[in-house]
Amino acid sequence: MLDDLVYRWRSAGKPPEPSIAWPRARWLAAFPQYGDLLRSLPSQLDRTAHRAVCAEAVVDAKSAERALVAVMAWGQGNNGYAQIRTSDVVSTPRAADRLLSVARTLAAEGAVAACRRLGDDHDCRLYRLGPAFGTKYLYFCQPVGQEITALIHDRLVSDWLLEHAALALISEGWSERRSAYSRQMRAWAADLGCAADDVELCTFREMATDRDSQWSTP
């Protein structure tokens, strides 16, 4: 199943994840302090649009929080609760400082160390920021070229793994499942001759289309 997914993706020219519309006005109303950021983002969001914003997360606390807001806007899409959930996350005491610490740990020590700091019972835990969006923050903030990619691990990917590979590597709750997930995706990538985040993208696209979600492939 997975080799067929990757083969079809390659045969199609390695298309990126489709871009999605997002409610810019609602975000501007909820986060006027980041108006310059929100107005600078394109009307259709995709993974590429966030690289430049998140590359600045290591600069200072405000830049780290800007990166998180951008990631939440992309990852939530048109969900009606997106702004409330994001507000809860950034209202965590010292949220911006914690996000900065995670981004700098990611740059200096890699994905495993950064994930550990962001996870349960560690010093940079943020209220209501679970693995589905925490791993998105790590993925976009990670410097290019690190050996272990900080892979996105959300509900759609974990559902694909359960349904098609009988792997119960659920995306809810920070735990050792994150390491097991990373190892499995890297092992598959090595067998298929691609990058681990290519495998993640292919599984995400397939499940999003199966579920007819807002991230469905046309």
Instruction: Answer yes or no: is 216 within a domain.
Output: no
The pLDDT score that the predictor gives to residue 171 is 67
* Closest to 50 in 3D by CA, of 150, 136, 153: 136
Where are any strands of DSSP class E within 41-138?
44-45
Phi, psi of 70 (to 5 degrees): -60, -45
Burial of 115 (0-12, 13-18, 19+ CB in 10 A): buried
Instruction: Answer yes or no: is 215 within a domain.
Output: no
Instruction: Answer yes or no: is 192 within a domain.
Output: yes
Cα→Cα distances 93→68, 86, 150, Å? 15, 14, 25
The pLDDT score that the predictor gives to residue 210 is 92
Give me the count of residues in the chain. Answer: 218
User: Residues 6 or more apart from 103 whose CB is under 8 A from it?
Assistant: 57, 58, 64, 67, 114, 141
Maximum CA pair distance of the chain? Answer: 48
CB of 131 within 8 A of CB of 178? Answer: yes
Domain enclosing residue 94, as ranges:
2-210
The pLDDT score that the predictor gives to residue 175 is 67
HSE value, Cβ hemisphere, 13 Å, CA-based, for 216: 7
Q: How many domains does the chain have?
A: 1
Instruction: Answer yes or no: is 200 within a domain.
Output: yes
pLDDT tens, residue order, the chain (218 aa):
899 999 999 999 999 888 889 999 999 999 999 999 999 999 999 888 888 899 999 999 999 999 999 999 999 988 889 999 999 999 999 999 999 999 999 999 999 899 999 987 789 999 999 999 999 999 999 999 998 999 999 999 999 999 999 998 876 667 677 788 999 999 999 999 999 999 999 999 999 999 998 888 87
What is the DSSP code (8-state) at residue 44?
Answer: E
What's the CA gap between 60 and 39, in Å, rounded?
21
